[in-house]
Structure 1
Amino acid sequence: MQSMNFQYFLLFFGLMFPLVFSPGPANIVFTMAGIKQGVKKSIPLIIGVNLVSILYSLLIGFGLGEVLKHYPELMTILKIVGALYLVYLAYKFIKPRQRQTSVKNTYTFWNGVILQALNPKGFSMQLLMFSVLLDGSFKQIEQIFYLIFMLAILNISTHFTWILIGNSLSQWMSNPVTEKILNYLFSSTLLLIAIWIVLYVH
């Protein structure tokens, strides 16, 4: 049993790590959150993203994936709305900042909820996880919760990593020229991801 579980974990990690860690809408935003507000103030963003991710995992694991197979237009709507939200985030990156007397968190819990709710990459990734790894190698309900738990751990670890990467870049943001370059870089990346989602995510 232990050998099977370890082999199953290796299969999970080999499939999901590249998908979770690769640059996507959430990871780009986590990097910018690390740059602009540091690790501690970005924790609500992590909570918002991962609560929605866990909810989606529960829904897909217990049958929503089968519903989407019969109503693919729902996924199309999610893709379009999600891509539009990424365009909005890209605009926010390059919009001139207004000087404020008080510091306000740029990325909050509700930003995380909206970001993940409209993230078709995350949704497609979870569909893939259950379609490949929900294989009946042990009890189905146990397997569903095992996959949800492992994905949550991998997600949270990855999100903290991207925030730490962003935080390490924060020193460059004191230079207005460097700040502008980074903002345009992340904005362009989000626009490319939005195009990729519309054209290639199924």
Structure 2
Amino acid sequence: MIFTPPLTSAMSTDTLIALLIFLFPLAYSPGPGNAFFAAIGASKGLRAAIPALAGYHIATFGVTALIGIGMGATILGHPLFAQVLSTVGSLYVLWLAVTFVRAARAEEGSAAEAPSAGEQRIGFWAGAIVLLLNPKAYYIIAVLFTQFLRPPANDDTATVLVITMVFTLNNLVAFIVWALGGRALTALFRSERSKRWIDCLFAATLIGVAAWMAVPLFT
């Protein structure tokens, strides 16, 4: 008898491998989530990014599970609601970009004061809100389920939970890698002036994320 690990009990091993291959470019290629956590990592380090990582991925797990069991129709079925989320989310990310610029400027006067302010502003809820106010993430998750939700007759919920867990953990690992990459970039340029420029660079990246979120999901 072949032993099947608990993680794959609701889907075949082949399907799980196909899911991971499908998710790899989505998670590791440059995108809004990667840019967000690379910016935090570059400015404050991985430890400071942990609260935002927790918030983002707890929200990811919840939203993914809800969409998987069919409760995402409210977002995906109402373009106006999706556009409101896009607008609010875009403005929120712009506000986060401003905090990076402020931190870079504050370091000119006090190197000890700026990190504290940044860590307070970009914490658990900041990460959660970035996910919750991005309807395009909802759409990507819905596409994920259309491709990989092939539930057995009595196993719908189990299959949804496996896909949700794999999707969330895969994103978490990818975003940790990007946060570490952002920090490594900062380490290459150790001067305070270089660090201020890197903060401003990632602030500009967040502005790009905000613009991406602001583009209408439905045309």
Bin for the TM-score computed over the shorter chain: 0.7 to 0.9
User: Any idea what SS the aligned residue of 1:136 has?
Assistant: coil
Residues 48-82 of structure 1: per-residue CA shift (max 9 Å, x gap): 11111111112111222233343222211111111
CA contact (8 A) 2:90 2:211 kept: yes
Q: What is the distance in 2 between the residues matched to 1:69 and 1:41?
A: 33
User: Any idea what SS the aligned residue of 1:97 has?
Assistant: helix
Q: What is the distance in 1 between the residues matched to 2:136 and 2:74?
A: 18
User: Any idea what SS the aligned residue of 2:215 has?
Assistant: helix
Task: Give the total of aligned pairs.
Answer: 202
TM-score with structure 2 length normalisation?
0.79
Task: Please name the residue that 1:117 is paired with.
Answer: 132
Task: Please name the residue that 2:39 is paired with.
Answer: 32
| 1:108 equivalent in alignment to 2:101 | no
| 1:10 equivalent in alignment to 2:10 | no
| 1:84 equivalent in alignment to 2:125 | no
User: Any idea what SS the aligned residue of 1:187 has?
Assistant: helix
Larger radius of gyration: 2
TM-score with structure 1 length normalisation?
0.84
- Aligned counterpart for 1:43 among listed residues 50, 55, 80: 50
CA drift at 1:185: 2.4
CA contact (8 A) 1:19 1:125 kept: no
CA contact (8 A) 2:45 2:179 kept: yes
Aligned residue type for 2:60: S
Task: Please name the residue that 2:106 is paired with.
Answer: 97
Task: Please name the residue that 1:136 is paired with.
Answer: 151
* Range with bigger deviation, 124-133 or 48-57: 124-133
Q: What is the distance in 1 between the residues matched to 2:210 and 2:73?
A: 25
| 1:150 equivalent in alignment to 2:162 | no
Q: Percent identity?
A: 25
Residues 113-162 of structure 1: per-residue CA shift (max 9 Å, x gap): 22222233432221221222223357221210110111121011112111
CA contact (8 A) 1:58 1:148 kept: yes
* Range with bigger deviation, 32-41 or 92-101: 92-101
Residues 6-43 of structure 1: per-residue CA shift (max 9 Å, x gap): 22123212322212223333322211222232223322
| 1:170 equivalent in alignment to 2:179 | no
Task: Please name the residue that 1:193 is paired with.
Answer: 209
Residues 160-198 of structure 1: per-residue CA shift (max 9 Å, x gap): 111111221232453233223323322222222322333
User: Any idea what SS the aligned residue of 1:56 has?
Assistant: helix
Q: 1:123 to 1:69 in 2, by over 3 A?
A: closer
What RMSD, in angstroms, separates the aligned Cα atoms of the two structures? 2.6
Q: What is the distance in 1 between the residues matched to 2:112 and 2:192?
A: 19
Gaps of 5+ in 1: none
